[in-house]
Amino acid sequence: MLTNRSKISVDTGSGQLRWVILLLAIAVILPTVCLLWFMTQAVENVRMAARQILINEYSERLSGLAGTVDNVWAKRVMAVESRPDANAIQQFASFVLDEPLAQGALVYDGSGNLVYPIIDVNWPEPELPAEFEYAWELEFVEGNFKEAANTYMSLEKSIQDDYLRRKVQIGAARCHIKGGVGMATVFCKQAGYSVITPEMSAGSVSLAAKARVMLAEMFKDEPAKLLAWSHLIETANSYKPGLKLLYFLPMDSGTRMFVQQRAIRLVEASSHPDARAYLTKIAKTKKLLAAERLSAEVAQRHAAVASFRQWSRGSVHRLDISNDLCGSYHQMAGKA
């Protein structure tokens, strides 16, 4: 009996000891857990405060940048609106060259029709005379360049049509190039730079542009090529119509991009020491070419201004060309 009582007494003391240990553990662990929780909350609060500071900082910067963009764009639009009679091609160049935020532009007339960039241009080719067919055969079939050149030159004197005249002049230039430059420069200059008018047909403009490229490409290392290069680059970069401007051609976008590409290629591929002098102008050509390409791509999908009528003036919207391309709609004195 004594033994049993002794065991009962020991067991009871052991249970009490466990409770004491448990209470001591709770007394130690609970404050620690609470401390860790408070520390976690403090760290989270610091993070939230830092995040809010960054948000406020960048919001202020973004607001300032947005305000700057709005001011710059408003001044650009005001400058264009101040000369509403400016040609569409001139307005296009003004936006993409003077406004660093604009990578391209579409110009519509008061009726909502696209006036620049000029895309999908087709022209009916006049019927070629029999003499032209004969000259072409001499040149490309028989390889008789001298006789072909004489036939082209004889035909030129009797032709009244501007397109055909330039075509035979280019033919004569080709034949002279194949037989040595000689008179080729004369015919290229005639086809490329003579009788340039706003009323020229798209076909005549295309041939004039081709002749200017031929003239610039026919030289090797002669000093004359630098002058021809300069004229071609001016043609590529000239967006201001005017009868007194020697290098402007009323080109459609496809023809203009052709000239710009050839001008860039000529200068960049040359090892001539003087080629470096044209790099600044070529940088301008590259910017215009990039703007022409992008604008033509957008114009293929938005040939009429109706695509943007639902946009409020000055608002910015993402275009369906790429995720990072946005557009803004503006109206100005008969154009959009």
What are the tens digits of pLDDT across the range 284-308? 999 999 999 999 999 888 877 777 7
Kindly state the tokens that stand for 140. 């490309």
Q: Is the pLDDT of residue 124 over 90?
A: no
Closest CA to 229 of 219, 243, 241, 238: 219
- What is the pLDDT at residue 7? 45
| CA pair distance 57, 60, nearest whole angstrom | 5
Domain ranges of the chain: 1-82
Which has more confidence, 219 or 165?
165
- What is the pLDDT at residue 333? 61
Q: Is the pLDDT of residue 276 over 70?
A: yes
Mean confidence (pLDDT) of the chain: 81
Q: Are 143 and 129 in contact (CB under 8 A)?
A: no
DSSP-assigned letter for residue 332: B
Kindly state the tokens that stand for 199. 């009323």
| CA pair distance 188, 186, nearest whole angstrom | 6
For residue range 23-59, what is the model confidence (pLDDT) as tens digits? 666 666 666 666 666 667 666 776 777 777 777 776 6
